[in-house]
Amino acid sequence: MMTTPATERLDAMLTRLKLTAIRERLDTLLDEAARRELTRSETLTYLCEQEVAHKEQRRIQMGLSIARCTFLRTLEGFDFSAQPAVDLGQIRELAGGGWIANGDALLLLTPPGVGKSHLAVALGREAVKAGYSVLFTTATALITQLVQAHANGALEELLRLFAKPKLLIIDELGYLPLEPGAANLFFQLVSRRYERGSLLVTSNRAVSEWGEVFGDAVVATSILDRLLHRSHVITIRDDSYRLCAKRKAGLIKPDGIHHPEQVARGVRGQISLSELGRFWCRLTAMWSASCPRHAKRRILLVCAPHWRLSDHADVPVGMTPAEGGRVSNILH
């Protein structure tokens, strides 16, 4: 477009109104409107649509930058066919962000290489798109920061920082040993965010093993009490992507022999009664040893839409069905 006093005034007004997309692409957008033979009102609508799309993209990019994700993943890029235990419908529901609005927690418990970090980052990206503030950190980096802040007398300031985002993603809890005193610091963080902001935690360790992860059964129970109060728990038991690729390539023979107590591979929610019994026994023993006088509450454990326990089971996680918590697929 030839520069004239009129175009200069237009450019200045578009700049003042912060209509960046229209100002930078005005010639191209007007040419496209002419090609489509749009009316004047349709052309104005088209220009506004392009500006809104530009601002939305900028907002998402800014949100992802603030989230500090070390890598980007999308739900579209997750291979659900390679992980049949993952409920696509449940993931889509979580992508809607309702659990974040309610301040619920989400636990992704899987073996290494199954895709829990991919799902965590992808759900974080969907949260940013929905307008929620998100912060991503690994458990190792988080604990290191908490320990250093505690030693430097700056713990309260750091806890306020981690309490700000609507969703805090903590990746790979239990992958590496935690530092001494980390359990108490992690408990303070969970307590600070309890029912105020959502936590998404990924781990390769079952919740029944968190006493070992934190090195303190009492504190681990208290952490789980808050996390599982209003929570969504997804457990994946399939092979890693690398093992699946090797099996498809014929480098690994299919395992046709399964222990009678093994969970059926690829079927979500199936669990042997002996495995379930071992889980409850270990968790109850840990709780009884730490807080023998605490009144245990009751929970309805839903393992799958087609398989559920008919009776309530006593569990020390401070949750009842009426309180709205949802714990599904705790398989070990």
What's the pLDDT score for residue 279? 55
Domains of the chain are 5-66 (no CATH), 80-252+264-270 (3.40.50.300)
Mean pLDDT of 211-227: 92
Sequence-ordered list of residues with C-beta below 8 angstroms from that of 57, at least 6 positions apart, any chain:
none
Query: ∠ CA(107), CA(113), CA(119), 5° rounding?
Result: 45
Burial of 254 (0-12, 13-18, 19+ CB in 10 A): exposed
For residue 157, give Cα distances in angstroms to 35, 154, 196, 226. Answer: 57, 5, 17, 22
What's the pLDDT score for residue 35? 95
pLDDT in tens, 138-166: 999 999 999 999 999 999 999 999 999 99
Mean pLDDT of 15-24: 94
pLDDT in tens, 75-88: 899 988 888 888 89
pLDDT for 16 beyond 80: yes
Least trusted range by pLDDT, from 188-197, 246-255, 267-276: 267-276
What's the pLDDT score for residue 284? 54
Q: Report phi then psi at 314, rounded to 5.
A: -70, 120
